[in-house]
A and B are shown apart, each in its own frame.
Chain A
Amino acid sequence: MSSTEPRRTALDAVHRALGATMTDFAGWDMPLRYGSERDEHRAVRTTAGLFDLSHMGEIAVTGPGAAALLDHALVGNLGGVKPGRARYTMICRADGGILDDLIVYRLAETEYLVVANAANAQVVLDALTERAAGFDAEVRDDRDAYALLAVQGPASPGILASLTDADLDGLKYYAGLPGTVAGVSALIARTGYTGEDGFELFVDPADAEKLWQALTEAGASAGLVPCGLSCRDTLRLEAGMPLYGHELTTGLTPFDAGLGRVVKFEKEGDFVGRAALAEAAARAEQNPPRVLVGLIAEGRRVPRAGYPVVAGGEVIGEVTSGAPSPTLGRPIAMAYVDAAHAAPGTPGVGVDIRGTHEPYEVVALPFYRRQK
């Protein structure tokens, strides 16, 4: 296989039949949108959306030493996760820089599924493989073993319940259980990246099309629509969720990103990055780094990643993600700004949009929180 040819998911023919606009994302040819990305965004907020997320990188970690390996390789306490539950965590370099953010499912006592971002899957696989030396555990590249479909939005529990006998009511947020959906064996996880209730379904790629069609039919009356990566980005931005390469990079530690809580110093034994992260934590305590804040535009011009945040003619930060918010009806952004300007309502903050300073309101994240 040529390394320059984009990879296609098991649902490629489905996307093309639906007339999707495709885009290259981390080496994968993925649906960007099927129609209007704003309509797709609103469907997820009000009814349901169906996503192909098969570009995500699955890595299996198994064996008697699997928990010990992950506790050594990642910053979280994975040995403390009960089978059937999942954790949001990170993998860092020895210097504390973030290599990726991850969701780790503990499928059984000695079996974990690590889900990495598509762009970082190889880096994470290589790091886990290297860090596995001396542990009684196996690290396996399972990227080709799964297609990943997500049903997100308030109507998603009803839609999924019509296709499975699995106990969805008993399935908590950040939990996963094996089950059968529309006759297809699946790992059913109550996770997502949209700020809504929803499910992610890990299945054999050979079953992906059958499951997609079944979900499409089951969701039609509820208003489910196929959704592309464009609305996934605005959904996660409204929900204040970080995206690797934007809010998270190797140049930042979890403490710089305001996510120091994922680092579990209290767990047993050494872990990669512990010493550097302890220093980063102390540094953040004494001398607050830039703070990740929300910005809401007073005008209509859209801030983009990399645009300077300004106050009193000085650059005081940088936009990491920005987009027009379908829910707020105004452009929004996440940005790292100096602590002195990070309090909600700080006056005089703007974004330099191609030379023009546009006024912005500083707010706490997230922009949107669903009603439970």
Chain B
Amino acid sequence: MSNPQQLRYSKEHEWLSAAEDGVSTVGITEHAANALGDVVFVQLPEVGATVTAGETCGELESTKSVSDLYSPVSGEVTEVNEDVVDDPSLVNSAPFEGGWLFKVRVAEEPGDLLSADEYTAFSAG
């Protein structure tokens, strides 16, 4: 699997797009989606909610387990992906595209986000 070069990554296996007008898109990586297995339920933060980098803001359920969703940055949620709420399998089939989770107006980002190459090495380890 390859991690898109234009994204940055958290050690909790979320990806973050480059900001457009201050708003970035967040999802989980293909590595994380594969580790979860078939995702069957997604609980996302509400639009307008404040999320904090490194803290839980939702959950992802797969056949075998439930996992917390962490926000890779701090800020305000501007949009959530209703398509993925209706069809959680998008997280598995298109984790970097149609399976995105929410958009956030970034107030602050932590200093330890990884580049694609760094994340590839991190997730292989």
Instruction: Write out the residue numbers on chain A whose beta carbons fall within 8 Å of the beta carbon of B61.
Output: 301-302, 324
Q: Which residues of chain A from 30 to 44 have any CB-CB distance to chain B below 8 Å in the complex?
A: 32-33, 36-38
Instruction: Write out the residue numbers on chain B whose beta carbons fall within 8 Å of the beta carbon of A234.
Output: 63
Asked if B66 and A33 make an inter-chain contact with CB atoms under 8 angstroms apart, the answer reads no
Instruction: Write out the residue numbers on chain B whose beta carbons fall within 8 Å of the beta carbon of A33.
Output: 37
A301 to B60 Cα, complex, angstroms: 10
Q: Which residues of chain B from 22 to 50 have any CB-CB distance to chain A below 8 Å in the complex?
A: 34-35, 37-38, 40-41
A33 to B41 Cα, complex, angstroms: 19
A300 to B40 Cα, complex, angstroms: 8
A38 contacts which of B34, B35, B63 (Cβ < 8 Å)?
Answer: B63
Asked if A302 and B41 make an inter-chain contact with CB atoms under 8 angstroms apart, the answer reads yes
Instruction: Write out the residue numbers on chain A whose beta carbons fall within 8 Å of the beta carbon of B40.
Output: 300, 302, 324, 331
A323 to B66 Cα, complex, angstroms: 11
A37 to B64 Cα, complex, angstroms: 10
Query: Is residue A304 within 8 Å, beta carbon to beta carbon, of the partner chain?
Result: yes
Query: Is residue A230 within 8 Å, beta carbon to beta carbon, of the partner chain?
Result: yes
Q: Which residues of chain A from 288 to 312 have any CB-CB distance to chain B below 8 Å in the complex?
A: 300-302, 304
Interface residues on B, range: 10 to 19
A302 contacts which of B34, B66, B92 (Cβ < 8 Å)?
Answer: B66
Smallest beta-carbon distance B13→chain A, Å? 16
A301 to B34 Cα, complex, angstroms: 20
Instruction: Write out the residue numbers on chain A whose beta carbons fall within 8 Å of the beta carbon of B35.
Output: 21
Residue of B nearest to A33 (CB): B37
Residue of A nearest to B42 (CB): A300
Q: Which residues of chain A from 313 to 334 have any CB-CB distance to chain B below 8 Å in the complex?
A: 323-324, 331
Residue of B nearest to A323 (CB): B63
A33 to B35 Cα, complex, angstroms: 11
Asked if A304 and B66 make an inter-chain contact with CB atoms under 8 angstroms apart, the answer reads yes
Smallest beta-carbon distance A309→chain B, Å? 18
Chain B residues within CB distance 8 Å of chain A: 34-35, 37-38, 40-41, 61, 63-64, 66, 92
Complex A-B, nearest 10 residue pairs according to Cβ-Cβ distance, in ascending order:
A324-B40, A300-B41, A38-B38, A302-B61, A37-B63, A36-B38, A37-B38, A37-B37, A323-B63, A230-B63
> 23 A-B contacts, Cβ less than 8 Å apart?
A21-B34, A21-B37, A32-B37, A32-B64, A33-B37, A36-B37, A36-B38, A37-B38, A37-B63, A38-B38, A38-B63, A230-B63, A234-B63, A300-B40, A301-B41, A302-B40, A302-B41, A302-B66, A323-B63, A323-B64, A324-B61, A331-B40, A354-B66
Chain A residues within CB distance 8 Å of chain B: 21, 32-33, 36-38, 230, 234, 300-302, 304, 323-324, 331, 354
